[in-house]
């Protein structure tokens, strides 16, 4: 009976996908405000880690299952990192990632309105594509993380959720999103250290249904 029920669910989903579902593509760009939540030996560092701002650019492909439900996979280039400031000197950790979020999005159509609010949630995996250290102040210096022996994990993963609105315009819609990504992997390589990524993203884009 359990096997029969599983087959029935798969067939129903397949039929719905082939007969009724639409596909959508989107391009987007915006800004990140990122930081690392860091503790060492269970204590906060003496010099706090502060957020830094970077850019993001990506594209999304999705399946619109119903007028209110869609499943989306995104690929984006994301500039992240953190910084410490003391006595007029700033040390910045500058990270670049290829992030791959997979989310379910719920839309809330409003009758006779071009606005379609939405919320979404899911998970992400991120692959480091670049890492650098910059020191500015009395002395300015830039180093590659490998040259500076800055040990870290090169892959991150976690949960992501956000919301925004679509504004119907022309054949598609302008999309506006605010998003928060919570890294679950400990990016610290020392046994007594913990570091988890935290990223707010603000993005705008344009979506077309196919």
pTM equals 0.85
3-state DSSP helix/strand/coil % of the chain, to nearest 5:
10, 65, 25
Assess contact for 109 and 116: CB atoms under 8 A.
Answer: yes
User: Domains in the chain, ordered, with CATH?
Assistant: 21-209 (2.40.160.20)
Q: From first to last of its 210 residues, what are the pLDDT tens digits of the chain?
A: 445 444 444 444 454 444 566 999 999 999 999 999 999 888 988 899 999 999 999 999 999 999 899 999 999 999 999 999 988 889 999 999 999 999 999 999 998 999 999 999 999 999 999 999 999 887 788 888 887 667 789 999 999 999 999 999 999 999 999 999 999 999 988 888 899 999 999 999 999 998
Q: Which two tokens stand for residue 188?
A: 């610290």
User: CA nearest 84: which of 131, 45, 33, 41?
Assistant: 45
């Amino acid at each position: 009976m359990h096997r029969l029920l599983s087959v029935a669910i798969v067939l129903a989903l397949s039929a719905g996908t082939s007969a009724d579902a639409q596909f959508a593509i989107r391009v987007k760009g915006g800004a990140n405000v990122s930081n690392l939540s860091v503790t060492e030996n269970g204590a906060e560092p003496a010099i706090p880690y502060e957020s830094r701002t970077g850019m993001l650019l990506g594209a999304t492909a999705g399946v619109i299952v119903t007028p209110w439900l869609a499943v989306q996979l995104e690929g984006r280039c994301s500039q992240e990192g953190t910084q410490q400031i003391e006595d007029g000197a700033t040390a910045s950790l500058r990270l670049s990632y290829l992030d791959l979020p997979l989310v379910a999005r719920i839309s809330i159509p409003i009758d006779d309105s071009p606005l379609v609010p939405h919320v979404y949630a899911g998970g992400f995996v991120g692959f480091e594509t670049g890492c650098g250290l910059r020191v500015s102040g009395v002395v300015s210096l830039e180093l590659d993380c490998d040259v500076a022996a800055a040990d870290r994990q090169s892959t991150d993963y976690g949960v992501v959720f956000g919301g925004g609105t679509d504004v119907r315009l022309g054949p598609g819609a302008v999309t506006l999103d605010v998003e928060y990504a919570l890294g679950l992997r400990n990016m610290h390589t020392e046994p007594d250290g913990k570091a988890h990524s935290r990223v707010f993203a603000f993005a705008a884009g344009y979506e077309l249904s196919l």
